[in-house]
Amino acid sequence: MKINLLSAAAPFTKLRYRHYQIHHLLLPYALYTLSVVPIYLFFIVSDIYHIQSYLWLVIGVKIFLSLACVCILLLLRHRAPHYLELGEFVLVFSVFSSFTYVAQYAMYLGHSHYQLAGLLVLVYVGALSRLGFSKAWLLLTLMLLTHVVLISSVKLSQDFVNGLDNLMIFLAVYFIAVVACLRRESESQKSFLSFIQIRNQQLSLRKSQHILSKQNQTDPLTGLNNRLFLSANLERISSRAQQLSVLMIDIDNFKMINDTYGHPFGDEVILRVAATIKLHCHERNKVCVRYGGEEFLCLFIDLSPIQCHKIAHGICDAIAELTWPINKLLVTVSVGLASKHAEDKGDFHLIKQADLALYQAKQAGKNQVAVYAD
């Protein structure tokens, strides 16, 4: 009977559909479920005219049941929304059972036209409820069986023709409600599939934007972060550091290497120097950036100046030990180091200080580390 658009879907997709049912179908309409309660209480007026004995007991039970249902549904809505379907199921069946019991009691008192109030509950399930089809069909079937056992059996024994008419009307409304629930389930699944398609498009777009942003902030030659990355993230990096240190690294005599051996070889020099620097700056508290053509910058988070100075010397020595296909070629770097504590201001001023220290290292003969000092 059920046309399930998700029958061939993966288990994860079915879990997502369950989540969609709860948060997009049940939760937004949970308060509308309470519309059953005032309609249910409105029938107290009919109880007054059709029931003489135990009237106040009937009214008291209805009021107590209504308050209990309201409290339980509100609690489920805020605390356990995944049980909302079960809560609505119990609420609707309780209301229907109450209608049916009171109708049966009225029939024994001689009021034989007070048993169709339960039809309103079937109409509610078919038209307003947000239950999934399986639970809605089970609920409707239970209500049909309850009606047959408690109402139709008595009605047929008292007045067969009227009882048969009553049963036919109830069966017709039952089938209409089942078809309405089936249609609602099909529309819900179509809505979910559209939602998933739009969501996947959004995720794909977000992923593309992330990749594009990463490409914009990555140097294509070395794979290191570039200056745009530094501008966008320096403040964030600095905000979580008690102490921040900067190494400004420049390849010595790079213009001469480019002019003498050509730009392709110059790119190879940059690539190997970048790889060497990255070996010394690959931990999470170290950030390596290609700052310019032959200039690199390293950020050290919460490392002491002594540790940074040791790393800077290690970079200088490792690059000086690199071998090249050109005989007697020596590639070296000069390094400027500057540090600041968290209470000191001016992250970009720190870079300027490291640049000044780099200038001092160049002036002092290159292939060495200079530390910025006021």
Rounded to whole angstroms, how far apart are CA atoms 350 and 137?
71
Structure tokens at 308: 């940074």
What is d(CA 30, CA 25) in angstroms, rounded to the nearest whole number?
9
* Angstrom distance (rounded) from CA 72 to CA 86: 11
Phi, psi (rounded to 5 degrees) for 6: -105, 15
Rounded CA separation 134/148 (Å): 21
Cβ 343 vs Cβ 365: under 8 Å: no
Side by side, the strands of the sheet bearing 286-290 are 286-290, 295-301, 243-251, 333-341, 369-371
Terminal alpha carbon distance of the chain: 84
Residue keyed to tokens 């059920």: 2
d(CA 271, CA 296): 11
Assign 296 to helix, strand or coil.
Answer: strand
Tell me, rounded to whole angstroms, the distance of Cα 226 from its chain centroid: 31
Strands 333-341 and 295-301 turn out to be: unpaired
Catalytic one among 294, 295, 321, 343? 294
Label residue 331 left, alpha or beta by phi (over 0 means left) and psi (-120 to 50 means alpha).
beta
Whether 137 and 187 have beta carbons less than 8 Å apart is answered as no
Residue type, 368: Q
User: Judging by DSSP bridges, how do beta strands 333-341 and 243-251 pair with one another?
Assistant: antiparallel
Q: Is 88 a catalytic residue?
A: no
**Euclidean distance between CA atoms 53 and 50, whole angstroms:** 10
Give the catalytic positions in this structure. 294
